[in-house]
Amino acid sequence: MLDTIKKFLKEHDIDEKAGFIITVSGGADSITLLHAFKYLNLRIHALHCNFNLRGKESNMDEQFVKRFCETYGIPMSVKRFETREYAQKKGISIEMAARELRYAWFEEMRLKKKMDYIVVGHHADDLAETLFINICRGTGIKGLTGIRPVKDKILRPLLSRSREEIIAYIEQNQLGYRTDSTNNSLDYVRNKIRHLIIPVCKEINPSFLNTVQENCNTLKEVEQIYKYGIDCLKANIVSEENGEILIDIQKTMASPAPYTFLFEFLRPYGFNATQIEDILHSNEAIPGKQFEAGEYLLTKGRVYWRLFNILEKEEERTLLADSGEYHLDDYTFTLGEQEIDNSFQVPQDSEIGCFDLDKITYPLVLRHWSTGDWFCPLGMKRSKKKLSDLFTDLKFSAKQKKECLILQSGKDIIWVVGHRIDDRYKVSPATKRVLTVKRDTK
């Protein structure tokens, strides 16, 4: 076991003078880690989490770890968590809550104690179990590569050793360890795999754990080739324009693996496998079909699938109480008032709106458009038109719709900024005073 850890540190170019946070549950794997790192005279600090999930048993685990660290002169810290309350508050499983809590604390303590790495006790059996869990739940190629021996500041030096070898080390050094009674319960997916599936696999192939490791190592290199292929496709298929990500539909469909490319590209944005299948099948649909995932919206156009962030902006608004400068999003709006005569010419600039000031009610409201908004477009003689219909006429993308600003006087929309003013507020021969509103980029 000592040679395994020394070899691990050397292979991953980790300085033996570094500081190591050792995470210790009290189980055989974590006690083995703690003892071996102490025996190798490495700089360590032990951490134990008490999740308060098993009553007296949890407290007995804590006391065991404390006594062990006292016996070997190992500095250690304990933290107790109200795991059930946290899980309920976050709306997640107990297992996920415990994971979030412990890793957040591990990193906090790593920084506080000025340590370099967090060391956890995952071993070869954990690797095989995780692989089966990923297969059962569905996974891409990355999920077939198993557990990473090094991920950021987290080290897993025992991945090459089996549970049997770890128990043998414990017995050889007469260390003692704690057993979590829930490990025998078949209510948990991992335990079903551990107790029902892995033994059968070992019966079929006595070297099953070694075979899993070899396959995972091979698949890690396959994953690199795979990622290289995806990146090459991305360079040819994907582009950006005005904050939108454009995915060329024709090039995607002509690629060797359209679904796989879309799956790998869109999954980080929150789209699931079913949505990605639907997106792929929309390639011949009429433009306008939309797919939403959290903050992101993907729309089907004639040439591209367009992807962009749709963080809600409806609540953002600015009150324009008088002439002067105002700001919203990345724009500056300048209001000016003037008296005019018959020689006045309305500027032919889409970024300037001109209105009959005597019909205006202050304060004006500058905001993003909302569903149901309507106005009377210039030239339509008080005929109502929904903004959604105007956007269709103008062939707006979903992103353009989301970013569109409107200027409002009282309950009336007087300007779809940059596009149309309302006919009821236009400058006419009877107008004596004009309000001009100019939009500039900050």
The pLDDT tens digits for 116-126 are 999 999 999 99
CATH of residue 343's domain is 3.50.40.10
User: Order of strands, edge to edge, in the sheet holding 244-248?
Assistant: 238-241, 244-248, 304-309, 296-300, 290-293
Q: Are residues 177 and 286 in the same domain?
A: no
Mean pLDDT (whole number) for 124-146: 89
Residue 353: is its pLDDT beyond 90? yes
**Structural domain total, the chain:** 3
pLDDT at residue 442 tops 80: no
197 and 295 co-located in one domain: no
157 part of a folded domain: yes
Would you say residue 313 has pLDDT above 50?
no
Looking up tokens 């956007």 gives: 391
Of residues 148 and 324, the one with the higher pLDDT is 148
Residue 338, domain member (yes or no) = yes
Residues 166, 248, single domain; the answer is no
CATH of the domain at 49: 3.40.50.620
Q: DSSP character for 47?
A: E
Report whether 235 belongs to an annotated binding site.
no
DSSP states of 153-210? TEE-TTTTS-HHHHHHHHHHTT------GGGG-TTSHHHHIIIIIHHHHHHH-TTHHH
404 & 293 share domain? no
Any domain includes 273 = yes
Overall average pLDDT of the 320-338 stretch: 83
Q: Is 25 annotated as a binding residue?
A: yes
- For residue 154, being part of any structural domain is answered with yes
pLDDT band at 314 (very low <50, low <70, confident <90, very high): very low
Q: Give CA–CA dist 406/284, Å, rounded.
A: 34
Beta bridge partners of 243: none
Concatenating the DSSP letter of every residue in 334-354 gives EEEEEE--TT------TTEEE
Would you say 27 is a known binding-site residue?
yes
- Inform me whether the pLDDT recorded for 294 exceeds 80: no
Q: Residue 26 phi/psi, 5° resolution? A: 110, -10
Range of the structural domain that residue 109 is part of: 2-205
Against a cut of 0.85, is the pTM above it? no
Whether 160 has a pLDDT exceeding 70, the answer reads yes
Is 26 marked as binding a ligand? Answer: yes
Sequence-distant (≥ 6) Cβ neighbours of residue 305 within 8 angstroms: 246, 247, 249, 252, 279, 298, 299
Q: Last residue of some domain: 309, 341, 364? A: 309
User: Which SS3 state, helix, strand or coil, does residue 286 take?
Assistant: coil
Residue 198, pLDDT above cutoff 60: yes
Per-residue pLDDT of 277-292, as tens digits, reads: 999 999 988 887 888 8
Model confidence at 159, pLDDT cuts 50, 70, 90, reads: very high
End position of a domain, from candidates 288, 309, 330? 309
Burial of 180 (0-12, 13-18, 19+ CB in 10 A): middle
